[in-house]
Each structure stands twice: as C-alpha cells, then as structure tokens.
Structure 1
Amino acid sequence: MKIFTNILVILAIALILFNVTLLDFRNPFQGDSVVAFIGIAASFCAVMILLIFRISKRIEEKTNEK
C-alpha cells in the first residue's frame, strides 16, 4: 500500500509541475491559465488526501499493535 500511495503522490506532484508550465504569468486568469490553476489546486488536494491516508494507516497500525 505504501508503494502505491508513493506512486500516486509522485504523479500528483508531476501534474503540479506540468500545470505550472502552462501558466501565463502576464494573464493569469485568462485562457489556459485558469485550467492550469484548477489542475494545480486539484493535484495539491490529491497530495494532501494521500498524505492524510498514509498517516491514518500508520495510526491504525499502531493501535492494532497494542
């Protein structure tokens, strides 16, 4: 499970980097830049959800050990 979440986190970070390249800093709220902002926000949320999932699994493992 840890390898799977690591792969997903890496993919989400790659999507963030890709969407940063699509941003037009002169007109940040027009055209493809809006789509890039949405993609960055969605990828950031995915990373956060995956990290929360990983932490919850660690907590679950520690509570089952006792």
Structure 2
Amino acid sequence: MKIFTNILLFIAIALIIVNVFLLDFKKPMEGNSMIALIGIVASFCAVFILLIFKMSKKIEEKLKH
C-alpha cells in the first residue's frame, strides 16, 4: 500500500508540473488555461488527501504496537 500511495503522489505532483507549463499567465481564465488551472487545483487536492492518508496509516501503525 505504501508503494501505491507513493506512486499516486508522484503522479499528482507530475500533473501539477505539467499543468503549470500549460497555464497562460496573461489570460489564466480563458480556454486551455482554465482547464490547466482546474487540473492544478485538483492535483493539489489529491496530494493533500494522499498526505492525510499516509499520516493516518502512520498513526494506525503506532496504535497497533
């Protein structure tokens, strides 16, 4: 499970980087820039959720021992 969450975390960070390059900073709310902006926000949410999941697994392991 640890490897799977690390892979998902890597993919989410990679998507943030790709979408930053697709973003047009002069017109961020038009066309493909809006899609890239939505992708960045969604990827940040995925990273946040995965980090919460990893922390909960660490707490669960400490409570078992």
- The question of a shared fold, defined as TM-score above 0.5 by the shorter chain, is answered with yes
Match of 1:20 in 2: 20
Residue of structure 2 equivalent to 1:6 = 6
Aligned position for 2:42: 42
SS in 2 for 1:8: helix
Query: Where does structure 1 lack aligned partners over 5 or more consecutive residues?
Result: none
Instruction: Report the number of matched residues.
Output: 65
CA positional deviation for 1:25: 1.0
CA offset digits 1:3-62 (Å, max 9, x no partner): 111100000000000101110111111111110010000000000100000000000010
Q: Percent identity?
A: 66
Q: What is the alpha-carbon distance in structure 2 between the residues aligned to residue 16 and residue 56 of structure 1?
A: 24
1:28 and 1:13 mapped to 2: Cα distance? 20
Q: How far apart are the structure 2 equivalents of 1:58 and 1:2?
A: 10
Provide the secondary structure at the position in 2 that maps to 1:28. coil
Question: What are structure 2's unaligned runs of at least 5 residues?
Answer: none
TM-score using structure 2 length? 0.96
